[in-house]
Structure 1
Amino acid sequence: MDIKNEDMPYLKKAFDGLENELTRFLEDSAPDWILYDFAPHWLPPVAARLGISRAFFLIINAWFLAFFGSSETMINSSEERNKAEEFMIPQKWVRFDTKVAYRRYEANWIVAANQKNDSGFSDFYRSGKVIDGCHCQVIFLRHCYEFESDWLKLLEELHRKPVIPVGLMTPQVEEDNSQSWVSIKTWLDNQNKRSVVYVALGSEVTPSQDQLNELALGLELSGVPFFWALRKPSETVESYSVDLPDGFQERVRGWGMVWKSWAPQLKILSHDSVGAFLTHCGWSSFVEGLTFGHLLIALPFLVDQGLNARIIADKQVGIEIPKNDEDGSYTKNSVSDSVKLVMVESEGKKFRDKAKEMSAIFGDRPAAMDSNSMAKNTKLHVVMFPWLAFGHLLSYFELSKFIAEKGHKISFVSTPRNIDRLPKIPPHLVSSITLVKLSFPKVEQLPESAEATMDIKNEDMPYLKKAFDGLQNELTRFLEDCSGLDFL
């Protein structure tokens, strides 16, 4: 989950290598539907040829996809949109008032993602092709009508096909009696109610040493209690190290905790001592923070995070830590001032109140999950095929469980190592969800055993996507041979 940009092309290259094996799987299993992610640009025509119904499932929100326009615009984007300034203003096809746009440092990243990389394709091209034309019949996404519904209507206009929000997929807090949680809970129990800032920058953000230093010193300067989940990347990323400022942990001992291994985020957010969430603004973290009514302190880095941060500020459910618009740098003072504003000063009350109000939407699991179209009498066989990032894998897994609860059959398809890292299937759904392992293609530039974004540096990502595309034939054979498959 922690990656460096230079590895991302290789992961995408490997992902593309799944094409043949996936094709065989689809030929063998003949499902009714297949739900697929943004990366397999080659998959919709294969599924259409096999007579399988097709849906693109976007694990994030409507405004991110709508910001980039129609599928035709995305497919041709690398030639037509190659300047950062084009992404720094609200887009011309958005006909309602909005402040959703990228800062320059974010827009520079988007421009780079818009160019063809070593996987052979840009992310814009991939996303456009999986939605384009009759090969994609419907768009599902992790959104709900109760929050920013104008973007859902805009998506239908842009893509001229049904757009169905499956809900926010609000997670459930599971029981956890592990020693790690016992230690964390003991520390949280010793803090005052709603006094702690939980700090976590997600699974795909690898801050630089300067960024880590400024964040650490800013938290210290604020004097506000904090719990910081600061995990080193996967063992395959050997070059990355986490070095905190000299003496930092000793100086904050008792009121500041740095946890350098996996942390149970939902359990922490559900604890009474937590009052705010300093987050990179990934959509899952956005949802999870507001599920518990915590105001959000936004520190975005890449992809959708900047747009999410603008929404956070616009809805007044939190604030964004000021950054240099040119390079994205921030200072310990900007971190400290932001934390104190929302946690200590009277001005922060309006943000805290707004965040609590939002928990009525984000924390209402039944309402958030009822806006889907899978509850029907006909029992379907649905194939789920997510991208190789754990945020994607887990979102597809959560949707798989929800669809299986309705009585449908699920084939969850990924690579061996990713399948082995999934949470356990609930006992009552074991007979409804089948985990299907496709052999991951070898790509020379990828580290040994790297099968997900958590395993590689970001610059190798195109190679992961290229390997992923190599699954096409095996998946096609699976679909052809799988009898009675309704949905892909």
Structure 2
Amino acid sequence: MGSKFHAFMYPYFAFGHMIPYLHLANKLAEKGHYITFLLPKKAQKHLESLNLFPESIFFHPITLPPVEGLPVGAETASDLPPNLTGKVISDAMDLLRDQIEAKVCALKPDLIFFDLTPWVPEMAKEFGVKSVSYQIVSAACVAIALAPGVELGFPQPSGLRGHDANLYSIFMNSHKRVFSRIITGIKNCDVVSIRTCAEIEGKYCSFIERECQRKVFLTGPMFLEAEENSVRPLEDQWNRWLNGFEPGSVVFCALGSQTILEKDQFQELCLGMELTGLPFLVAVKPPRGASTIQEALPQGFEERVKGRGIVCGGWVVEQPLILSHQSVGCFVNHCGSGSMWESLVSDCQIVFIPQSGDQVLTTKLLSEEFEVSVEVQREDSGWFSKESLRDAVKSVMDKDSEIGNIVKRNHMKLRETLACPGLLSGYADKFVEALENEVSKTSYSS
């Protein structure tokens, strides 16, 4: 084992970014390293339960400075509407540069991890610190950022239709600034790493290495292992409720920390879950214009589904624990990076409703190339009906469904590959070893 190092982590202030960074921090701490984790004050209480090594991982809360478009009290992307998050949060994080420099100067870390703050490599070099671009988005997304006009193989942008094509186009146009920040960071940093594995995104990883002309380290999915989850039991309220149903019968639906549906689409989602006839648990944020879930539910809905359906307003940090419960048999989600990996390593059938262009690409990869999931069909406007949601869920949950049996069989094969002893832990171990070597090179040359 290499010498112990001290790493700073400065992820983009969104839970979908901070959580995988914290999982990586746990892996580093497990190997004896120390981490100073920079995060917004309010986010700390949501993440503390995921810190498995509080004696080695130190949360350092930061207050975002005021910027145009940032409401008072807002600190993470989930506090803002999706169309504002990227620019507003990153602008505020840029203004923290002086504070970050002061902390680097005072604490003298060996490494600093970042994803969407492109000035980190330049700052790090000034203080003799190695910078690590750790991208938690898919390798396909990074590849598109590197070469937006190049055909990358499947899924071909030209093969997208209807709403998916619209989402992809919006994604490409609205994320030019994000792409630029990712690429600037990757080209100037000391170590490039992506939260993925070659078994899923090998062709994209190879493309990125060719474009960058440098080694790209893969960390694997980087989430809590089953044995680590087992020491954190599921909350009693969910455990007791789920225990009341047959194994594999419950549909769990979660659309991430940033998805806010229009009220009519939210109601259609609820009615679609009702139409499945199956027990269900839905965890989504209140729809646009509503302050609570209850006020937005369809008329008579709660009475009709009482005892078999729950809709709660918010994002469930314990998502992996719910998915591992024996009663849960289907996971309906947006194909965000974290939810995608949690889907693949679970025993659940998978139904995707992508909400952004990068999620469209990953959905196509998994539904059409790997055939381990199905996508809810939508109109060109993006609207999905209660019937299309019902049909997608029933297609994978009905025991006699041909589609359901195909995706279940393919998912089981892919899951077995990912669960192969040592595969995912091997990615993480090799990555940590590479970091130790990088730090050692610095100490030898100094």
Would you say same fold, with TM above 0.5? yes
Match of 1:79 in 2: none
Letter in 2 for 1:332: K
Match of 2:131 in 1: 54
Structure 2 residue 80 is matched with structure 1 residue 3: yes
Match of 1:274 in 2: 328
Match of 1:249 in 2: 302
Matches within 5 A, 1:17-416: 17-37=95-115, 39-70=116-147, 91-92=150-151, 94=152, 96-99=153-156, 103-114=164-175, 122-132=177-187, 135-172=188-225, 173-176=229-232, 181-232=235-286, 240-242=291-293, 243-260=296-313, 263=316, 264-314=318-368, 315-325=370-380, 327-344=381-398, 345-347=400-402, 348-363=404-419, 366-372=422-428, 373-376=430-433
Instruction: Report the Cα distance in structure 2 between the residues aligned to 1:203 and 1:225, rounded to whole angstroms.
Output: 23
Q: Alpha-carbon deviations, 1:409-443, whole Å to 9, x = none?
A: xxxxxxxxxxxxxxxxxxxxxxxxxxxxxxxxxxx
Instruction: Report the Cα distance in structure 1 between the residues aligned to 2:354 and 2:300, rounded to whole angstroms.
Output: 27
Distance 1:299 1:2, change over 3 A: farther
After TM superposition, the score normalised by the length of structure 2 is 0.72
Specify which structure has the bigger relative contact order, considering alpha-carbon pairs within 8 angstroms and separated by 6 or more residues. Answer: 1
User: SS where residue 259 of structure 1 aligns?
Assistant: strand
Distance 1:329 1:158, change over 3 A: same
- CA displacement at 1:57 relative to structure 2: 0.4
Match of 2:92 in 1: 14
Instruction: Report the Cα distance in structure 2 between the residues aligned to 1:145 and 1:43, rounded to whole angstroms.
Output: 27
Letter in 2 for 1:59: I
Instruction: Report the Cα distance in structure 1 between the residues aligned to 2:189 and 2:250, rounded to whole angstroms.
Output: 45
Structure 2: 5+ residue runs without aligned partners?
1-77
Q: Alpha-carbon deviations, 1:263-285, whole Å to 9, x = none?
A: 32111100111111000111111
- CA displacement at 1:106 relative to structure 2: 0.9
Which sits farther off after the overlay, 333-342 or 360-369?
Answer: 360-369
Contact 1:137–1:161 (8 Å) recurs in 2: no
Contact 2:331–2:348 (8 Å) recurs in 1: yes
Letter in 1 for 2:340: F
- Which structure: greater helix fraction? 2
Contact 1:277–1:297 (8 Å) recurs in 2: yes
Distance 1:138 1:338, change over 3 A: same
Distance 1:379 1:195, change over 3 A: same
* CA RMSD between the two structures: 2.9
User: SS where residue 31 of structure 1 aligns?
Assistant: coil
Match of 2:31 in 1: none
Contact 1:52–1:485 (8 Å) recurs in 2: no
Match of 2:61 in 1: none
- CA displacement at 1:224 relative to structure 2: 2.2
Letter in 2 for 1:25: K
User: SS where residue 82 of structure 2 aligns?
Assistant: coil
Match of 1:422 in 2: none
Instruction: Report the Cα distance in structure 1 between the residues aligned to 2:263 and 2:279, rounded to whole angstroms.
Output: 22
Say how many residue pairs are matched. 352
Q: Alpha-carbon deviations, 1:93-130, whole Å to 9, x = none?
A: x2x45446762331243144245xxxxxx212211211
Letter in 2 for 1:350: I
Percent of paired sites with the same residue: 27
Instruction: Report the Cα distance in structure 1 between the residues aligned to 2:420 and 2:300, rounded to whole angstroms.
Output: 43
Instruction: Report the Cα distance in structure 2 between the residues aligned to 1:45 and 1:485, rounded to whole angstroms.
Output: 22
Instruction: Report the Cα distance in structure 2 between the residues aligned to 1:241 and 1:257, rounded to whole angstroms.
Output: 14
Distance 1:304 1:222, change over 3 A: same
Letter in 1 for 2:393: V
- CA displacement at 1:176 relative to structure 2: 4.2
Contact 2:253–2:281 (8 Å) recurs in 1: yes
Contact 2:257–2:314 (8 Å) recurs in 1: no
Distance 1:143 1:114, change over 3 A: closer
Q: Alpha-carbon deviations, 1:4-53, whole Å to 9, x = none?
A: 0354233222111111111122223333322211x212221222233322
Q: Alpha-carbon deviations, 1:455-478, whole Å to 9, x = none?
A: xxxxxxxxxxxxxxxxxxxxxxxx
Q: Alpha-carbon deviations, 1:269-313, whole Å to 9, x = none?
A: 001111110001111111112212222100010252111111121
- CA displacement at 1:365 relative to structure 2: 7.3
After TM superposition, the score normalised by the length of structure 1 is 0.66
Distance 1:330 1:151, change over 3 A: same
Contact 1:30–1:485 (8 Å) recurs in 2: no
- CA displacement at 1:221 relative to structure 2: 1.5
User: SS where residue 146 of structure 1 aligns?
Assistant: helix
Contact 1:170–1:362 (8 Å) recurs in 2: no
- CA displacement at 1:346 relative to structure 2: 1.8
Contact 2:169–2:357 (8 Å) recurs in 1: no
